[in-house]
Amino acid sequence: MQTLHDPLRAAREAVRSGKFQDAAVTLAELPTEVREGAEWYLLSAMVSWRLGDFAASRREALAAREGYRARGDADGEMRATNVAAAGAFGLGALADAEDGFHAAMQLARELGDPLMAARCSNNLGNVALYLAQHDVALSFYRIARAGFERLGFEHGVAETWINSAITWRDLGRHRECLGAADQALDAAEQARAPRLIAEALANRGAALAALGDDTLARVQVDRALGIARQEGDRFAEADVLRLLGLIAQTRGNPELALARLREALGVAEALGHPWTTAEVQRDLARVFRALGRNAEAAGAFAAAETAFRSLGSVPRADAMQREGAGESG
């Protein structure tokens, strides 16, 4: 029996196993006729997103969507629409991201795809979080988690718990953050997903630091940094470095805090990720202010405000403007 030739098989398997650098090399080496197909564009979009090139990811996903539409492939169109929306989200185009996730969710419901519907709900929760709509975000995460649990998809369960932990941390609800991070770690370990284990550990460490256990927090976040770097996950690396900076500040070492935060800023800016850039600039501003370096604090607050506004996150941008002016509310 003759084996069918499948030129995208190796790239597809590399993406599924999270080996995005390997997938990028494999995709680039394929012949031109393969690189003009809808699936090649979709796989490349997924790889570009994971490697931090959100503009390329969105461009490639839109090309994939058009290719799938041209041949009447609604399932492919749904998947490409979701990835295109994720690219918009990474670029800070929140309105485009929200519209795209809703469109992908509608297609998922029409096609009877509960996994994609759950993914879209999780993604819509992320949009709400960026807009400081915490209750809406937590609601979307609960809906998504229920869908993932029904399907036995532990990877998705872990992601929703991680996102919930981030939301609770944003609200200053550190015990709830710790509880969500513990759930995330359990699910990530069951899924055997190193990237998610790193993110769960980082959030667990952040909660422990806020609750006063700086030593254990440092152990957790140091482990998270090692995993993020081993996996080549630059986004996770930037966030973990930021958390290490916060822990250094709480332990009374502002100079180490500045070093870690500057390192985090370099990674975030290299990725072109405005959300992480905004968070790091905000944290830098607070460390500068604590050190009495008010001019540098004012500059960092202004940079954080600009980054949040570029995301369409008006409440967060306004908060930075007030904090930069020395106002409390």
- For residue 27, being part of any structural domain is answered with yes
Average pLDDT, the chain: 92
Q: pLDDT tens-digit profile of 265-309?
A: 999 998 877 888 999 999 999 999 999 999 999 999 999 999 898
> Which range is least confidently modeled, 148-152, 170-174, 180-184, 243-247?
243-247
Q: Residue 236 falls within a domain, yes or no?
A: no
pTM for the structure as a whole: 0.85
Comparing C-alpha atoms, which of 95, 147, 96 is closest to residue 117? 147
Residue 187: inside a domain: no
More confident residue, 200 or 314: 200
Confidence at residue 4, expressed as pLDDT on a 0 to 100 scale: 58
| pLDDT at residue 232 tops 90 | no
Question: Would you say residue 190 lies in a domain?
Answer: no
Q: What is the total count of domains within the chain?
A: 2
**Residue 117 maps to a domain:** no
153 falls within a domain? no
Q: Could you list the residue range(s) of the whole structural domain that residue 105 is in?
A: 8-112
Domain boundary among 112, 145, 164: 112
Query: Tens digits of per-residue pLDDT, 122-164?
Result: 999 999 998 899 999 999 999 999 999 999 999 999 999 999 9
329 pLDDT more than 70: no
**Per the domain annotation, does 138 fall within a domain?**
no
Domain at 73, CATH number:
1.25.40.10
Residue where a domain terminates, one of 91, 112, 133: 112
What is the average pLDDT across 4-27?
86
Alpha-carbon distance of 27 to 289, in angstroms, equals 47
Long-range CB contact pairs, 139-148, < 8 A, 24+? 141/167, 143/118, 144/118, 144/119, 145/118, 146/118, 147/114, 147/115, 147/117, 147/118, 147/121, 148/115, 148/118
pLDDT band for 2, please (50, 70, 90 cuts).
very low
Of 112, 142, 158, which residue is a domain's last? Answer: 112
Is 50 exceeded by the pLDDT of residue 225? yes
Does 87 fall in a domain?
yes
